Structure 1
């Protein structure tokens, strides 16, 4: 091996050098550069000549960074970093490239996401009924050998954008699937994560008939005669999904690896599985044991109403799989739990719990209705389980979309704080509609709002499926990132992948602009509720510092400071300066977790 430092150079395009703010203590460190005690071994990696956004308390920007032993050894000037260059140090000349902490996604479903990338994928596309059928028909043709081997092999269709069926307002039933030339059971999963469509064969296998009662946490859609239509809402989908053969352990490893590769490409270095099964936890734990884990994984097992000994169940999972104290090499943590309070705002499901009824609309004319959505937990039940979970050392993560459900969650969290617990990391996921009286409670109670930034734009699932049914006052509070932030609340990113595409940079752009993608038919709407925008600085802190806080990692990840884990990314553009719409096109050139490169490389082409 050469005794001179290894060096890589990347030419920046359209990047202007910024004034660099010196790190506290850098002057004295720099002055020692030529001392005889300069390290001979040096750092493992030095990045120099860039724009290192630390996301510290001052949002400082520096030139250089050194990595040693999986941690950040230095952040400061190009001059100061020289003393960290030894004989075996790899030196990367960034030439103005942007470096920032790795992204933290505080609410997603990696196994479903990975499965979707491997199976029949509708890719979130707006489709006519014929296009919908043609996509599935093509998959059936590709997998004809599977059907010959086993006629009842399930067809699992992912990423169906139900609200975007064309023409607008199109609803589908089992008849659309029954028309396909197959006897295989078919399940089509909507991107909202709360609705599935199945064919008659799937209903038959699941034993769902007109006499089947709705489960307590969901609904079976029925026609005028009471017969199931094939549409299953929320917990009703479990009646079918429970009949699908589970993937093998080897299948799960393949799915987990696929998900991790997709996350690394996006620059995600920490994530939380927001409804983790034991099979999912086991798969990622196995990869961690093998040294194949490429992101820090947090897992939140589901706690349902009526579960027997839920504390014992989640404690057993923690004892079995939790990796203990965090280390530079990524491990997994089982210290969160997931609870569902309601469903979704979108018409026709409208299962999100509201304080006031949804409006009923007919040919553009809307009037007060009677439907107020679901409430899966009563307040006293929720208070009890949240109290028990926090006392057992778990951080509750509550799905609450409607304003009534958000209030119930905040009420339960207030009980925790009133009991003297100021350390639990309490999170409301989604919080798509929040009553004005509850906005400031996020900050007062130190409750994180894990928001799905993709939803904060004009789209079929907002302007068509939600806006008419809320009315102007409530609509102005839809996706209230701006209100929560302005009132002192802490916002993190919860992409909800695969409910939404795994496209973190478009999500970040959307939180900043509240606009649809250029070229979309909804772009003409302009920004949706523009007063709810986040600044670039606030959006970047949401996906780094605040995500780290949600998951108890803020002393280890989320910002770039000496001593913290070397979880960082290098981008192809300066996202704090390019036109806002160009943030969506950002490409991650390098993703590093604990000093190990898990995506891209140091040549940064």
Structure 2
């Protein structure tokens, strides 16, 4: 699979095709050659004064700048990869030359490109291949698997998207799958991307039986029946990868091909910057897969900026800071950097691995777990903070967030002052006492706002797991904002509770409505007071995300001197009903002054 860079209507866009590896490289070089012959001129600019003539001018639009000093404008001029002017049509038009391409927005909205502050492009491209199991029931899922197996009579059957609410509390079983497909391996990743459903043949090939030790006992393990045999329900990354890698080993080539096929979709969604919150392990070298980004950048084919991370899933912890620093030195280009230590602080509520303060309502002997002891939490964060590294914590349970905040507070007390950007991600449930601590400690609260709807996962499943009182207090971004904290959005694609999406407009709409997309009369997720205003949601999806990953001086708002990362929407979102925001077309996406999507 390949994405070739071509210009559409003399401006640009991406299309896809199928290429082998040699053709992949040859097409990339050809793409660079085409870009060189048709590309927008220019060089770096610090301000309007002394800038080169604009290569592109957007005029006659509703320009929402995200610049607090000048939130609205009519026109924007771009020279090379920089914004060189923002203002009225008359002021910006005066800068045009005969070579300037002028785009009449005709009242459409221009705004900064979206910053995805927590996403897994490689994992998403890999996991979502195969059967789509985002269906209503287990019966529907098995029917979809059977139909796919019939259409693909040989080879492994795989897929993505089933939910825990489709099954009894003990989860799905291999027998269910064996009844549909028993003669070849089949495995299916859950929509939370933290669990797996495998048939007997897959377990056999992977060598998983009653005598197989759990990779991380109590956290990443194989659900077993009364006799100790694996049921086919596999919990958390370390265990599920033992199955996946035994059947379809993840390779650099396969990852590159899959992610390249997804890139045009990201551009069509308006994504111009991402925080890659953890890549699939290929051997022991996380940098090997991150370097796919830098290779695509060399080929002129990377349509967004990337800040990557070193993923710490479990002990040992001693080399976490040094490993992060190694990637920081190794991967540092114009579009791709690594500067974050990602901690997998707990798991998910569906697998009873989210770490809670009080026991699960339907499993009173468990509060979930973290792969790290509290001493290890403090050691990792103190050491990383001392080295100037930002820490990004996966926290679905409220105890995880609390322990992470305690560790960050200890690091602040022990280490010299600095501009910290530590982040706690997901925040499904947050203790009341911890809401103000985000602002007090300067910790960023990253939400997967696309999870915030009153769907069966957040209502039925979480009520069963947490009990009504705790369920009524989930996902509180507005409270954190009101208490002085910063909120960012990142889809966590492919992971989700009910609907897997990488589209930032989906997140913006759900953050405003707390309802399922496409159902204006759908229930509203409590607390209703947690619904965000459009202005707050757009800030979380752009400038706040840019600040989280230390890109705010270059992107996240439309200001002279910043990089030209821009999107054109068919309508002004401030004139659109909240339930129609997700369906608003994105007509153009520009990254670094280059058009990566033209509808």
C-alpha separation in 2, matches of 1:128 and 1:244 = 24
1:299 aligns with 2:308: yes
CA 76–123 in structure 1, closer or farther in 2 if over 3 Å, else same: farther
Distance 1:539 1:519 in 2: 20
- The alignment's TM-score, normalised by the length of structure 2, stands at 0.85
Give the drift of 1:423: 1.5
Residue 309 of structure 1 deviates from its aligned partner by: 2.4
Among 511, 526, 529, the residue aligned to 1:528? 526
- The alignment's TM-score, normalised by the length of structure 1, stands at 0.84
Aligned partners of 1:596 and 1:205: how far apart in 2?
Answer: 47
Q: Are residues 1:240 and 2:250 paired?
A: no
1:260 & 1:40 partners in 2: Cα distance?
31
Deviates more, 1:385-394 or 1:97-106: 385-394
Partner of 1:380: 375
Query: Relative to 1, partners in 2 of residues 1:526 and 1:317: Cα closer, same or farther, differing over 3 Å?
Result: closer
Q: Deviation per CA, 1:417-458: give whole Å up to 9, x if none.
A: 222343231010101111111111111111111101121111
- Say whether the 8 Å CA contact 2:62–2:110 is kept in structure 1: yes
Number of paired residues?
540
Retained in 2: the 8 A contact 1:7–1:92? Answer: no
- Provide the rounded CA distance (Å) in 1 between the counterparts of 2:289 and 2:68: 36
Is the contact between residue 514 and residue 529 of structure 1 (CA under 8 Å) also seen in structure 2?
Answer: no
The residue that corresponds to 1:577 in the other structure is 575
Bigger CA drift: 85-94 or 303-312?
Answer: 303-312
Aligned with residue 265 of structure 2, among 258, 262, 271? 262
Determine if contact 1:40/1:86 at 8 Å carries over to the other structure: no
1:319 Cα deviation (Å)?
A: 2.5
Alignment of 1:40-439 (within 5 A): 42-58=53-69, 60-116=71-127, 119-122=129-132, 124-129=134-139, 131-144=140-153, 147=154, 153-163=155-165, 165=166, 171-216=171-216, 217-234=219-236, 235-276=238-279, 277-303=286-312, 304-307=314-317, 309-323=319-333, 326=334, 331-346=335-350, 349-360=351-362, 369-418=364-413, 419-439=415-435
Indicate which of 541, 546, 564 corresponds to 1:548: 546
Q: CA deviation at 1:238?
A: 2.8
Residue 247 of structure 1: CA displacement?
4.2
CA-to-aligned-CA distance 1:557-599 (integer Å, 9 cap, x gap)? 0000000000010001111221110112121110100100001
Unaligned residue ranges in structure 2 (runs of 5+): 1-8, 12-47, 280-285
More displaced stretch, 185-194 vs 300-309? 300-309
Report which of the two structures shows the higher radius of gyration computed on alpha carbons. Answer: 1
Matched, 1:598 2:593: no
Provide the C-alpha distance between the structure 2 equivalents of 1:74 and 1:233, rounded to a whole number of angstroms: 52
CA distance in 2, matches of 1:563, 1:379: 44
Deviation at residue 280 of structure 1 after TM alignment: 2.7
Q: 2: distance between equivalents of 1:169 and 1:373?
A: 15
> Matches of 1:527 and 1:227 in 2, distance apart?
39
Provide the residue aligned with 1:446 in structure 2: 442
1:28-87 deviations in whole A, cap 9, x for unaligned? Answer: xxxxxxxxx999972000000001100012461110000002100000001100222011
Matches of 1:402 and 1:39 in 2, distance apart? 52
Q: Which runs of 5+ in 1 are unaligned?
A: 1-5, 9-36, 148-152, 362-368
Counterpart-to-counterpart distance in 2, 1:286 and 1:411: 39
